[in-house]
Amino acid sequence: MSPQRRKLHHSKKKARSQEPVSTACDPQHYINRDLSWLEFNQRVLEEAQDTSNPLLERLKFLCIVSSNLDEFFEIRVAGIRQQQLSNISQTGPDCMSPNEALGAIAQRVRKMVADQYRLWNDDLVPALEKQNIFFLYWDELTAEEKQYYTRYFQTSVYPVLTPLAVDPVHPFPQLLNKSLNVAVELEGKELSTNLAVVQVPRILPRLLPYRAGESGIYRYIFIGNLIQAHVHSLFHGVTVRGAYPFRVTRNSDLYLDEEEVANLLKAIETELRKRSRGDAVRLEVQSDCPEHIAGQLLQTFGLTNADLYQVDGPINFLRLMPIISAMDRPELKFKPFVPRIVTGTGDHEDIFAQIRRHSLLLHHPFDSFYNVLDFIEQAAEDPNVLAIKQTLYRTSGDSPIVTALAEAAQAGKQVTVVIELKARFDEAANIKWARTLQEAGVHVVFGIVGLKTHAKLALVVRKEEDGIRRYLHLGTGNYHPSTANLYTDLGVLTCDPILTDDCAELFNWLTGVSVFPQLTKMKAAPNALHDFVIAMIEREAEHAKAGKPAGIYAKVNALVDPEVIEALFSASQAGVDIRLLVRGMCCLRSRLPGKSERITVRSIVGRFLEHSRVFRFENGGQPEIYLSSADWMPRNFFRRVETCFPVDEPALKEQVEQILEAYWRDNVKARQQQGKGLTYERNVEPHAERFDVQAYFLDQVARRKRPDLETKPVVIKGPAKPRELEGAVGQPA
């Protein structure tokens, strides 16, 4: 990095350090963010408990709960433990110390895990068996099945297993994060230890089918249980007293001082190799594991009983996800749908002519992500397109967008891509795409030091008869075809000259050497978005005091920022009616008498992950609507590059208004914050006719599909990966 650019980044980093401190928020107004997130995960668990959902979808929700908890321990609990071990007593806006937070988290997680396994054993397993879907233990197999699995063990499992004794000569093996292992208790004369470990290689499937699907019957055994039944064959001349599957969760955050890194890509590759070997934060064992064996494992990992979770069932429910996807039982899944194509294809006019005529609003997944792919692919193929600039935060394993960008560069167009290498748990995929694009001749940059580039932008520069015109896609979601089928997001295709100018300025800042640009329509983090949101909330308060129409309606994934929360409290006290649709963490306590009684907080958890960010301000009777890539969290305001842009074309504005009103009508999947903010109840409008907003939009798709246009669905090669599938209600942003 050049001295000039380093100096610019240092000044920006210094400015970003002036984030709101915890004292900005009254502790009585603020809910602990981690406890709030756990209540969101409880709402996901409620979808698994909901018998109105198809059976295999309920099982999928159960898997997502486990996946979410894994990431919660890897990042959030790991971070609080580091504060605790460093004797950091600083509290957050909720005034909970690290010790208090960890205690409250452990208590809440234990109840959630107990509810998970009670649901599995008492409800889901019996219901699945009625549908001829069996997840069996060794003792439940038929003689024929035991013979089959024994042969499988001998030919495919035994050759790749390695028994590892644990004694002074054989140190405890370095177990990878979330890997499956079996603790083996031994007994025999002259043994130097009573404990050995068998690691289960990740190359082996975790669920083993027996003629799955024949005659409509699906029978499986977990590989851990198969190894338990045959583990004695690995230890000759000694007695195996027991074998107990276990799993350790490790700190998986990445730690980089970007200003001291010469090559960010290589530095992140190095950190990724360390991730699987971070400090342990949780130990999971099956409920039959003896106390002394669990104690030995805890001591080895530097954990205490507070970090031990004993479970009565599969240790990792996420391993069921590929089975659910592959199972041919459509009657046990959500009904498939074909999303709407907004842009014309085939013999119809090109997409640029459509955008010139009027901007297009896209509402995913109800509007197909193919509309976005069509924009990028036509830009790559069009000889009149001179340049393409795009941000990539997350994308799929076989990304058609990456393919199109590479082909555009190979065709001689100037293509610039800002890839975010630090997108959590997608770092390896993004490194791969960075190299692929560089090899194709794309200018690949990694954004601004100290910031994640989370904005969703694609800018196309095109030569036309009347000169150069720029076209733009702005969105609230990622350029990821798989999750675009699972997440609800909003996007706009436009050639608005002011917005495209703003976007071009923002790209120049991301890729060049300049100070943060002055934008006209767009508001961007880290320099302007927080002040903008606060100013808009305060403007509504002033309108209310003046007797003018005032109101705020925000749809976000998370509300955490203390200053925004205090501003909302002040607006409520000034007479502003505030509707907050917050899917995940909401640290604001609503309905406090005299303080936040005009604030209503709801959360919708359903088939699709509610991912769009929309802000509506009444503005004295002249409403303003904004779409954004940012949630209302300090990280989005101060540590990320984010965008927020107005929807001001009347037709598009009316569409967004209708979408927002539909969301607030939901009384099936919506829950409303109650009491002290840590409970949510479904009865938001108990006397109204039942209205499920996601089902409503699916019905609208069926009614409004345009038969005059050729439909070209997005084709994803192979099943989606587990992280992609968790998107129904997972937590990626």
Q: How far separated are the first and last CA of the chain, in Å rounded?
A: 29
pLDDT average, residue stretch 367-389? 96
For residue 211, pLDDT beyond 90? no
For 22-58, give the secondary structure using H, E and C.
HHHCCHHHECCHHHHHHHHHHHHHHHHHCCCCCHHHH
Report the pLDDT value the prediction gives residue 103, as an integer from 0 to 100: 94
- Residue with more model confidence, 432 or 442: 442
pLDDT tens digits, 683-707: 788 788 999 999 999 999 888 754 4
Residue 8 has pLDDT above 60, yes or no: no
C-alpha–C-alpha distance, residues 579 and 530, integer Å: 19
454 is catalytic: yes
What predicted TM-score, i.e. pTM, was given to this entire model? 0.89
Active-site choice (454, 480, 530, 543): 454
Cβ neighbours of residue 365 closer than 8 Å, sequence gap 6 or more = 339, 484, 485, 486, 487, 488, 608
Read out DSSP for 317-357? Answer: GGGGHHHHHH---GGGSPPP--PBP-S--TTSPPHHHHHHH
Say whether the peptide bond before residue 526 is cis (omega within 30 degrees of 0).
yes
Average pLDDT in the 354-380 region? Answer: 95
Residue with tokens 């990821």: 480
* C-alpha–C-alpha distance, residues 691 and 666, integer Å: 5
pLDDT at 571 over 70: yes
Note whether 624 and 558 are within 8 A (CB).
no
Three-class secondary structure of residue 394 per DSSP: coil
Q: What is the secondary structure of 128-157 as a DSSP string? A: HHHTTEEEE-GGGS-HHHHHHHHHHIIIII
Residue 136: beta bridge partners? 221
**CATH fold of 33-332, please?**
polyphosphate kinase like (3.30.1840)
Residue 148 pLDDT more than 80? yes
pLDDT tens sequence across 67-92: 999 999 999 999 898 888 777 776 77
Look at the chain and count its residues: 733
Can you give 223-249 as a three-state secondary structure string?
A: HHHHHHHHHHHHCCCCEEEEEEEEEEE
Give domain limits for the chain: 33-332, 351-517, 524-691
Q: Which long-range contacts (CB under 8 A, 24 or more apart) does 665-668 make?
A: 665/691, 665/693, 666/604, 666/691, 666/692, 666/693, 667/691, 668/692, 668/695
In degrees and rounded to multiples of 5, residue 361 shows phi and psi of -100, 130
Asked if residue 346 has pLDDT above 70, the reply is no
- How is residue 727 annotated by DSSP? G
Gyration radius (Cα) of the chain, Å: 27
* C-alpha span between 189 and 462 (Å, rounded): 81
b/e 58-82 (16+ beta carbons within 10 angstroms → b): bbbbbbbbbbbbbbbbbbbbbebbe
Percent of the chain with pLDDT over 90: 71
Three-state SS at 7: helix
What DSSP letter does each residue of 258-310 carry, written as one string? Answer: GGG-S-HHHHHHHHHHHHTTS-EEEEEEETTS-HHHHHHHHHHHT--GGGEEE
Output the 3-class SS for 588-628.
ECCCCCCCCCCEEEEEECCCCEECCEEEEECHHHCCEEEEE
Give the residues across from 555 on adjacent strands: 581, 614
- pLDDT interval class at 11 (50, 70, 90): very low
Q: What is the pLDDT of residues 596-615, one digit of tens each?
A: 999 999 999 999 999 999 99
Residue 487 scores a pLDDT above 50 = yes
CB 399 within 8 A of CB 372: no
Paired residues of 457 in beta bridges = 474
Q: In the CATH scheme, what architecture does the domain 351-517 have?
A: 2-Layer Sandwich (3.30)
Residue 729's pLDDT is what? 54
- Binned at pLDDT 50, 70 and 90, residue 255 comes out as low
Fold of 524-691: Endonuclease; Chain A (3.30.870)
DSSP character at residue 125: H
Higher pLDDT residue, 708 or 509? 509
Better-predicted residue by pLDDT, 26 or 379: 379
Q: Give the separation between CA 247 and CA 11, rounded to whole angstroms.
A: 44
Burial of 174 (0-12, 13-18, 19+ CB in 10 A): exposed
Lookup: tokens for 39: 């209540």
pLDDT of residue 620: 97
User: Would you say the CATH fold of 351-517 matches that of 33-332?
Assistant: no
Task: Specify the pairing of strand 195-199 against strand 609-610.
Answer: unpaired
CA angle, residues 701, 704, 709, in degrees to nearest 5: 105
Buried b (16+ CB within 10 A) or exposed e, 542-554: ebbeeeeebbbbb
Q: What is the dihedral of CA 273, 278, 281, 287, to 10 degrees?
A: 60
